[in-house]
């Protein structure tokens, strides 16, 4: 399988890059200069019409959406057991958590990082002010779940949903109340940050914050 990841350090591509390393999938990296808006260039839009990272080109076919790519990688590498099989009792919870993170949590970060999008630049401060407590409420909800049924989102079974959650947690590191202030979330993040793949990812993306 010929695989190329279009990425930007620390962006939503972080999840896909991390899993490519964790699953030992041979791949090439293509750095997208988001500050220079390369993601809005005609060449990139031909790969990903949303004009965002990540894009994963597999055997010449571009695919996008970080959560979908994480699920695809888990399915194509079943020996790693990072997703419950179709007939596994935990399959429903797995799908629920992947979509919950993608639909409820990640969009709040889009608002936090791009507060002009929902209601224009003049309302950016108000959007951010409303966004922070909503993200904190998500941490409270997920921490409660981990307290009752952790240590991972699927109990004793590590899955790509946990990698996804840790990436989202990382994005809160400079917020007024970062995710690491919730004890069960912090415990999960410490477990995943201890993986050798996390260290490799940091080195390859040149990241230092939240190491």
Ligand X SMILES: N[C@@H](CCC(=O)N[C@@H](CS)C(=O)NCC(=O)O)C(=O)O
168 binds ligand X (CB under 6 A): no
**CB of 112 or CB of 151, closer to ligand X:** 112
Q: If residue 137 lies in a helix (H) or strand (E), which one and from where to where?
A: helix 124-149
Query: What token pair was written down for 211?
Result: 């190491």
142 binds ligand X (CB under 6 A): no
| CA-angle at 107, arms to 35 and 200, nearest 5° | 60
Pick the binder of ligand X from 19, 47, 58, 66 (CB under 6 A): 66
Q: If residue 186 lies in a helix (H) or strand (E), which one and from where to where?
A: helix 183-193
Q: Which of residues 24-53 bind ligand X (CB under 6 A)?
A: 34, 39, 51-53
83 binds ligand X (CB under 6 A): no
Which is nearest to 171 in space by CA: 103, 127, 116, 111?
Answer: 111
Pick the binder of ligand X from 11, 21, 158, 192 (CB under 6 A): 11
**CB of 34 or CB of 77, closer to ligand X:** 34
**CB of 90 or CB of 109, closer to ligand X:** 109
Pick the binder of ligand X from 22, 65, 138, 162 (CB under 6 A): 65
- Region of 136 (left: φ > 0; alpha: ψ -120 to 50; beta: rest) is alpha
136 binds ligand X (CB under 6 A): no
Torsion of CA 171, 176, 181, 187, to 10 degrees: 10
Closest distance to ligand X from the beta carbon of 116 (Å): 11
- Cβ neighbours of 79 (radius 10 Å): 6
Token look-up 């399915």 returns: 75
Residue 188 to residue 69: CA distance in whole angstroms: 22
Name beta bridge partners: 62: 57
166 binds ligand X (CB under 6 A): no
**CB of 110 or CB of 204, closer to ligand X:** 110
Closest distance to ligand X from the beta carbon of 183 (Å): 27
Positions touching ligand X (CB under 6 A) are 11-12, 34, 39, 51-54, 64-66, 110
């Amino acid at each position: 399988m010929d695989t190329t990841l279009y990425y930007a350090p620390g962006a939503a591509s972080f999840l896909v890059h991390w899993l490519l390393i964790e699953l030992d999938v041979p791949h090439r990296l293509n750095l997208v200069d988001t500050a220079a808006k390369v993601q809005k260039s005609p060449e990139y839009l031909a790969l990903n019409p949303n004009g965002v990272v990540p894009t994963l080109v597999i055997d010449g076919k571009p695919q996008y959406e970080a959560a979908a790519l994480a699920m695809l990688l888990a399915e194509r590498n079943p020996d790693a057991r990072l997703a419950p099989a179709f007939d596994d009792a935990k399959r429903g919870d797995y799908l629920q958590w992947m979509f919950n993170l993608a639909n409820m949590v990640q969009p709040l970060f889009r608002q936090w990082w791009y507060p002009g999008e929902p209601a224009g630049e003049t309302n950016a401060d108000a959007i951010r002010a409303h966004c922070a407590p909503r993200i904190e409420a998500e941490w409270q909800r997920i921490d409660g779940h981990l307290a009752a049924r952790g240590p991972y989102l699927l109990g004793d079974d590590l899955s790509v949903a946990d990698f996804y959650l840790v990436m989202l947690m990382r994005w809160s590191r400079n917020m007024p109340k970062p995710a690491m202030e919730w004890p069960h979330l912090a415990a999960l993040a410490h477990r995943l940050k201890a993986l050798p793949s996390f260290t490799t990812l940091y080195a390859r993306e040149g990241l230092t914050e939240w190491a």
